Every structure is written in structure tokens, then in C-alpha cells.
Amino acid sequence: MVKAFKGRLLQNLTDAFELPADVVLNLPRITITGSLQMLIENHQGIIAYEPEKIRIRTRQGETVITGTGLKIDSLFAGEVRINGRISGIEFRHSRG
């Protein structure tokens, strides 16, 4: 209950002061270049990695990238860059 209240409070402050939600709420920022490259910032790790599917953990749950020839081009603490032919992106929200 306290966690939900804190989340709503931060969201209201973010909206009221027009602050970037990805920074204040530690939300992932996803940048897609065509269907060939994706950059995910503020991720929390890789769950699974295959040439046809990559699952990335985020604060809200996970992001699933599907395609062909997918590969992780670079991986840093808060940033992952994926190259290949991206055909789909799915957001799976965790409960809580």
C-alpha cells in the first residue's frame, strides 16, 4: 500500500513539474531505429537471449523483442543495444 502511494505521488509530481518520467520513475527509455536496431536504457538485466527472442527485465516487468538474427551489440549497467531484424516488441507488466 505504501509502495503504491509512493508511486502515485512520484507520478503526480512528475506530471505537475513536467519532469521526464524515465528519469524520475526509473522507467525504461526505448529508442528504435527502423526495424534494425533498438536501444533500451534503464533496464535491469537480460532474462533470456536467443537469435529469435531477447527478454529484458525492466522495473515494470519485461520487454520481449522478437525477430531474426538478433544480437546484443553492447551491454552496460543501464543500457543494452540490440541489432538484427526486429519484428515485434511486447511489454509484459509484472503484478505488484
Phi, psi dihedral angles at 9 (to 5 degrees): -60, -50
pLDDT band at 19 (very low <50, low <70, confident <90, very high): low
Look at residues 34, 76, 33, 38 and name the one whose alpha carbon lies nearest to residue 54.
38
CB 21 within 8 A of CB 14: yes
CB 71 within 8 A of CB 83: yes
Burial of 56 (0-12, 13-18, 19+ CB in 10 A): buried
Q: What is the mean pLDDT of the chain?
A: 84
User: What is the reported pTM?
Assistant: 0.75
**Digit-coded pLDDT (tens) for 28-63:** 889 999 999 999 999 999 999 999 999 999 988 999
What CATH architecture applies to the domain 26-93? Answer: Sandwich (2.60)
What is the spatial distance between Cα 21 and Cα 25, in angstroms, rounded to a whole number? 5
pLDDT band at 3 (very low <50, low <70, confident <90, very high): low
Q: What is the pLDDT of residue 7?
A: 61
- Round the CA-based radius of gyration of the chain to a whole number and report it: 15
